Amino acid sequence: MKHLTLLALGLCIAFTSVIAEAKQSKEDDSDVIYDEDKVPHYDLPDVLVTSQGKRVTTAEEWNTVRRPEIMSLFSNLIYGRIPEPESPLQVKYEVVKTDPEYMNRKGTRRDIKITFSNDKGEVDMLILVFTPNNVEGPVPVMMKHSFNSTHSKRDFEVRSRLSDRFRNGWPIGKWFDAGFGFVVVYQQDLVKHNDVEFSSGIHKLFYKTGQSFPKAHEWANLSTVAWGAMRAMDYLETDDTIDHTRVGIMGHSKMGKAAIWTGAQDERFALTISAQSGCAGAALWRRTSGETLEKMVTRFPYWLSRNAWKFVGNEDDLPVDQHMLIACIAPRPVYIHSAVDDTWADGRGEYLSAYHASPVYELLGKKGLSSMDTPPLNSPIMDGDIGYHTREGGHTISDYDWDRFIEYSTKHLQK
Ligand code: GCU
């Protein structure tokens, strides 16, 4: 009996500590900076001064010298560069399903399988393409980097019907009403969410003989996800129901990071929307507020390239910060979204990044952000080529956010 009582007591203690551990999430780590007064002093690298110390004063110098230089730094030091495969990739497109009566005939859904192959193997990804039925001619589309599978019926139905209660639901009907199509690319088709082996996805097709892991400067997770969207864009260029000159890219959280990296690299994307992308997205590294480089590489070692690890605790030594990546999207419009309770994503740092990208927008004749102050809640900045809003609440895309994204996209992508 005594033994039984002790056993019950032991189980009870073990259970309580499991619960306590579950409640103690990464946001509660005692060393996380949330207080603005605790953000260290930092100096951002000047987006308009080259590595040789020369000030950039013309659009041509930006386009031919500084922008390529910055992109190469982000490729090699932060996200990882996409290597050339030893033997060229073959790419095949296949429409595997068509539903012309999608959403009570409001639109057409097509599932497109994209297969990549070479002598190292074969990998495919499935993208979903939704176009409105009542709009004439090639339509503009919003492409979304999705957390959720495009393969499973259940997942798809949940995501396509709910927008507010579920993070990352897709309010496709609203996009149809605004005259847009919607395209979904699934993040895990080419690489697993937190892959630490890189042996089963697309990487194997790119390894040189004898290689079995990406080199320190080569593509890790976010670069791979971004690559997937670029390949989806290749497909859209062949699809005459879509106006491929009016394609936006968006994503939330990790997918927001991927969206910024995609939009910066691939100038075919006419608009970029980052929803609460935070660390490695819109937020500035040097503020070390909320999630830091250290927190990120500890929990997700290969979202970034291995070279990025070298700057843990040394963010000041980075030759870039995230305002420079947003600047590389210029002159194309970009929209950044934060929320006050999403402190892990450092909304203030997201706004400042957008603000400090503004000199490049201005140099290219576009309208950036004029004030260093974050605008009040629910007061979206819609009139320029850098848009922004913050709202109350936490880490999700709410209906309010979707409406702003549609409004901003309409302004920039509708004729
Ligand atoms: C984690 C991670 C964030 C990321 C988020 C998400 O919280 O630390 O960087 O944005 O997951 O993708 O939802």
Domain ranges of the chain: 2-85+100-109+127-413
pLDDT digits (tens, 9 = 90+) for 304-320: 999 999 999 999 999 99
Q: Tell me what pLDDT residue 148 has.
A: 85
Q: Tell me what pLDDT residue 122 has.
A: 98
Q: Output the CA 208–ligand 1 centroid distance in Å.
A: 32
What strands, in cross-sheet order, belong to the sheet with 242-252? 90-101, 107-118, 121-132, 181-186, 139-146, 242-252, 271-275, 334-339, 386-391
Candidate of 147, 222, 253 to mutate for ligand 1, largest count of ligand atoms within 8 Å of Cβ: 253
Q: Tell me what pLDDT residue 166 has.
A: 53
Q: Tell me what pLDDT residue 17 has.
A: 43
Q: Tell me what pLDDT residue 156 has.
A: 76
Paired strand residues for 252: 275
Distances (CA, A) of 111 to 100, 236, 340: 12, 12, 37
Q: Tell me what pLDDT residue 24 has.
A: 54
Inform me whether the pLDDT recorded for 15 exceeds 50. no
Q: Tell me what pLDDT residue 159 has.
A: 77
Distances (CA, A) of 176 to 16, 108, 179, 273, 330: 49, 10, 5, 18, 27
Ligand 1 atom nearest to 295, measured from its CA: 8
Ligand 1 atom nearest to 255, measured from its CA: 12
Inform me whether the pLDDT recorded for 180 exceeds 60. yes
Q: Output the CA 259–ligand 1 centroid distance in Å.
A: 14
Closest residue by Cα to atom 11, ligand 1, is 254
Candidate of 187, 194, 291 to mutate for ligand 1, largest count of ligand atoms within 8 Å of Cβ: 291
Q: Tell me what pLDDT residue 25 has.
A: 73
Closest CA to 302 of 246, 218, 377, 185: 218
Closest residue by Cα to atom 12, ligand 1, is 254
Q: 293 versus 12: which is more confidently predicted?
A: 293
* Cα–Cα distance measured from residue 400 to residue 410, given in angstroms and rounded to the nearest whole number: 15
Inform me whether the pLDDT recorded for 372 exceeds 70. yes
Inform me whether the pLDDT recorded for 125 exceeds 50. yes
Neighbours of 277 (CB within 10 A): 28
Closest residue by Cα to atom 1, ligand 1, is 254
Q: Output the CA 366–ligand 1 centroid distance in Å.
A: 31
Paired strand residues for 143: 183, 249
Instruction: Kindly give, in sequence order, each residue whose CB lies less than 8 Å from that of residue 17, ignoring residues fewer than 6 positions away.
Output: none
Closest residue by Cα to atom 8, ligand 1, is 296
* Cα–Cα distance measured from residue 58 to residue 360, given in angstroms and rounded to the nearest whole number: 10
Ligand 1 atom nearest to 296, measured from its CA: 8
pLDDT digits (tens, 9 = 90+) for 38-95: 999 999 999 999 999 999 999 999 999 999 999 999 999 999 999 999 999 999 999 9
Q: Tell me what pLDDT residue 21 has.
A: 42
Average pLDDT over residues 219-229: 98
Q: Output the CA 148–ligand 1 centroid distance in Å.
A: 14
What percent of the chain is predicted at pLDDT more than 90?
87
Ligand 1 atom nearest to 277, measured from its CA: 10
Residues with CB under 6 A from ligand 1: 253-254, 278-279, 291, 296, 344
Q: Output the CA 300–ligand 1 centroid distance in Å.
A: 9
Q: What CATH class is the domain 2-85+100-109+127-413?
A: alpha beta
User: Mind telling me the catalytic residues?
Assistant: 253, 395
Q: Band the pLDDT of 110: cuts 50, 70, 90.
A: very high
Closest CA to 254 of 233, 232, 274: 274
pLDDT digits (tens, 9 = 90+) for 225-263: 999 999 999 999 999 999 999 999 999 999 999 999 999
Q: Output the CA 104–ligand 1 centroid distance in Å.
A: 35
Ligand 1 atom nearest to 280, measured from its CA: 9
